[in-house]
Chain A
Amino acid sequence: MSIPQQTDALDQAPSTAGCRVPYRVFTDRQYYDREQENIFKGNCWSFVGLEAEVPQAGDFKSTFVGETPVILTRDSDGSLHVVVNRCAHRGALVCREMRGNRASLECVYHQWAYDLKGNLIGVPFRRGLKGQGGMPGDFDMSQHNLRQLRTESVGGLVFASFSETVESCRDFLGPIVVEQIERIMCKPITVLGDQRQRIRGNWKLYAENTRDPYHASLLHLFHNTFGLYRSTQTGKALMDANKRHSLLYSIAASNDDAADKQAYGDSRTFDTEFKLQDMSLLKGRQEFADNVTLVILAVYPNLVLQQIQNTLAVRQTVTYGPDEFELVWTHFGYQDDDAEMQAIRLKQANLIGPAGLISMEDGEAVEIVQNAIVGEASATSYIAMGGGRAEDADHLVTEGAIIGFWDNYREMVGFEVEPT
């Protein structure tokens, strides 16, 4: 009797394909705490800012890795450093400003001072005052620095890691991500401003959202209405070798009215009759030779680098518990932008961010899930569009990259958390 060769058939059976994610990973504090340890403080590189945000020696910016406050600094020798924003003495915030320029970092509580690398350089009354007090004789300044994170810059994007063992940042990102970063960061940039969006949902719902090209033409109706983006456009969904990160891109030149009519019929999501009164909003320039007009590069765990037409931005996720996170959008252009190009970028900024005509829905998409799964102990989602595997696709009707995210999450955090 022969054993049937049925592996393929089994894998493709409807009952086994697809990815199921227990909803409690979005609501249970235990998962959140494990994520802070295993992802944000674990073997990952988190995005902390743009080099262009700290261009001069002494520049600093306060930000977060997960929920942990950190400071990004540029030292007098031009080197970049990321340290935990917590005094080595009794735990006070060392830096209480969002950004600025300083020669050193000084805690206001007892004026312990640190250099821009985070090394302790001053302790008031260290040897006491008039023979009284003072630190113990064996007090060693070098043992009381700010917690220093590994810091690497890739194409002007600065990443930091708590891990001493994680691979280099470039290796963590992988060639596809590095290539996409370098495509956008192809020349010196200038920061145009920030937008901060507070979303009352779990940060991973946004990680799913940015790996999900399936929703784009169905939820974001502004896209369809003005023909900016359609599922019938040429687009691809690719991942790095580890399937942590996701690259979604599309080329507007491939718009095809006939194919759209066939795909959408008369559904509410398709209406090319709708015209803007002021078309200047959509006026832009083809600034990349590859004709790609939309790039959503979702970098595990906390970054999206995007190009939507002529808007360029990074979006950083900061976590505030299982049911709240902040998205910090930092928009930029190039230093050599002429006046018209600057105006185009500022006007097209209407398209993205929390008030973005084509992106404001994402906050609501996260919140309607969070509101619906409250208290749910056992139910799961079902993610299978495109075949239900963490595979690349040369189309945009796929959820493969979401599954890639969850495969990595399962490895780092697990779906079954033991009660503590």
Chain B
Amino acid sequence: MGLPTLEQMQFQHAAAQVNALHAELIDDDRLEEWPDLFEENCRYSVISAENHNRSLNLAAVFCDSRGMLVDRIVSLRRANIFPAHSYRHILGPTRVKSTSGQIVITQTNYVVLMTRNDGQTSIYNSGKYVDEIDVSGAAPRFLSKTAIFDTHLIDTMMVRPI
């Protein structure tokens, strides 16, 4: 493996940046901005490794448009009732697995820590993102983002995006 080309470094940087921003918007409760990181015709899913590894497609969250992401957030704000909590994403390095033109496929490990009202912080969800990112525009955007989680026990509920 030789040194990366400038383009490869730019792709890697763009993918890591958009993942970091994704985590930041969720953790800082700027959820209304979160759908903007996705293309209009995107796919976002949060699926257990238990299902994914059996080639079963049933996901905890499955959205196939930016509109559905917005609906999730509006539902969180207006309709859903859940224990007060916050997330903190800890991301591993983003690795570019392959590129096709201005589309990059990446993988990033993550851990989501949850802090509830009682002040305790626990490991809520850990897994990997497999993303398809369009880096052609002014800002990179997710064509698809799949969070495959090892922690197949969901503690009480899942209302915020992973």
What residues on A are CB-neighbors of B83 within 8 Å? 364, 367
Chain B residues 73 to 96 lying within 8 A of chain A, measured CB to CB, are 74-75, 78-83
The interface size bin for chain A is: 35 or more
CA distance A119 to B159 in the complex (A): 46
Closest A residue to B50 by CB, please name it: A194
Say whether, besides A193-B57, A350-B62, A277 and B157 are in contact (CB < 8 Å): no
Contacts A195-B48, A281-B68 given; does A221 touch B58 at CB 8 Å: no
* Docked-complex contact B156 and A367, CB < 8 angstroms: yes
**Proximity bits, A184-217, B CB within 8 Å = 1, else 0:** 0000000111111111100000000000000000
Which residues of B lie under 8 Å from residue A196 when comparing CB positions?
48, 50, 152-154
Contact of B75 among A191, A222, A326 (CB under 8 A): A222
Determine whether the beta carbon of B156 is less than 8 Å from that of A354: yes
B2 to chain A, nearest CB (A): 42
Instruction: A233 to B67: give the CA distance in the assembly, Å.
Output: 29
B-side contacts of A253, CB under 8 Å: none
Contact string, A81-118, partner B, CB cutoff 8 A, digits 1/0?
Answer: 00000000000000000100000000000000000000
Chain A residues with CB below 8 A from B156, complex form: 197-200, 354, 363-364, 367
Contacts of A357 in B (CB 8 A): 72, 75, 79-80
Residue of A nearest to B82 (CB): A364
In-complex Cβ contact of A221 among B57, B65, B68, B78 (8 A): B78
Q: Is the CB of A198 within 8 A of B51?
A: no
A98 — which chain B residues lie within 8 A by C-beta? 50
CB-CB under 8 A from B50, the residues of chain A are 98, 193-194, 196
B9: CB under 8 A from chain A? no
Does chain B have a CB within 8 A of A382?
A: no
Find chain B residues with CB under 8 A from A354 CB: 60, 154, 156-158
Contact assessment for A198 and B153 in the assembled complex, using a CB-CB cutoff below 8 Å? yes
Known: A346-B57, A355-B157. A274 touches B81 (CB 8 A): no
Please, how many angstroms separate the alpha-carbon atoms of A192 and B60 in the complex? 12
- CB within 8 Å for A278 and B67 given contacts A195-B58, A331-B58, A355-B61: yes
By a beta-carbon cutoff of 8 Å, the part of chain B in contact with chain A is 46, 48, 50-51, 54, 56-65, 67-68, 70-72, 74-75, 78-83, 152-159
Name 11 A/B residue pairs within 8 A (Cβ), A-sorted.
A192-B58, A197-B154, A199-B156, A219-B81, A221-B80, A274-B78, A274-B79, A350-B68, A354-B60, A360-B157, A361-B81
Give me 8 other A-B pairs in contact (C-beta within 8 A), A277-B67, A277-B74, A349-B62 excluded: A195-B60, A222-B80, A346-B58, A355-B158, A360-B157, A360-B158, A360-B159, A361-B157
